[in-house]
Amino acid sequence: MMVSKKALLNSFKQFMVQIYKDAMLILLCIAPLLAGSVFKFGIPFAQELIYEYFGLTKLFVPYYLLFDLLLGSLTPLLYCFAAAYVVLGEIDDGISGYLSVTPLGKRGYLISRLGFPAVISFVVSIVLMMVFSLSDFALPYIVGIALSSNLLGIIEALLVVSLSSNRVEGMAVSKLTGLFFLGLPVPFFVEGSIQYLVFFLPSFWLAKFAIEKELLFLLTGVLVSLVWIFMLNKKFNRKINK
């Protein structure tokens, strides 16, 4: 069943009102901008200080790309967590079950609560990487990194809403979802085929794509992400049906 644009927009407006009323969620939305400023200006400044006092010229320079990937991943991580936090509140209040049986439907509910925030974070990720990136990225690679990072954000949101019964549990589960981002540093610090032991982490393929600039790594990461999203979406739908 097709969901009307009006129903989607009205639902998204309700979502934004809830974000606006929560100071913590507002802070989460502006945190990537603050982090980008720290990465762009703080890390090179720290590198200069280390060189001045210890004579180490390239302590951070080899890992500028890793900092860029962290920045690119931070926006969807925080935006999608904010979305998950709102959804958990609606589950507590019984609102999610009500909305899912209105003309909005389950599909429309997920689009308005997770899809729209993911699209916004995708755009914000691209802008922040263009402005604050420490590395020289062509726009197609920035788009690829933003796409993979946003899929990671959706996985995090679905994990939080699927495994948590309330917002307190959601905060705890969100910390565990950070494990999904442990794949980012693996290609930087682990050599050889042993690094592929973390093939099930989409973040690993994101890092491989950023380093090697091979489309195959990007597509593999997208495929792995979609498998996670499919499984978690089924679990979330079962939760809504209870």
In tens, the pLDDT along 77-136 reads 999 888 888 888 877 776 766 666 666 777 787 888 888 889 999 999 999 999 999 888
CA distance 117 to 75: 10
Cα–Cα–Cα angle for 204, 139, 119, nearest 5°? 70
The larger pLDDT score, comparing residue 53 to residue 180, is at 180
Mean pLDDT of 214-236: 92
pTM over 0.75: yes
Mean pLDDT of 155-179: 82
CA distance 77 to 65: 18
Tokens at 26, concatenated: 């507002």
Tokens at 96, concatenated: 């999610």
Q: Which residues of 79-110 are buried (b: 16+ CB within 10 A; e: fewer)?
A: bbbbbbbbbbbbbeeebbbebbeeebbbebbb
Per DSSP, the three-state class of 12 is helix
- Count H helices and E strands in the chain, helices first: 12, 0
Chain position carrying tokens 């979330």: 236
pLDDT at residue 150 is higher than 60: yes
pLDDT at residue 196 is higher than 90: yes
Query: Which amino acid is present at 44?
Result: P
CA distance 180 to 80: 14
Q: Hey, how many other C-beta atoms are within 10 angstroms of the C-beta on 177?
A: 21
Q: Mean pLDDT of all residues in the chain?
A: 85
Sorted by sequence, the CB contacts under 8 Å of residue 161 that are 6+ apart come out as: 84, 87, 88, 91, 170, 236, 239
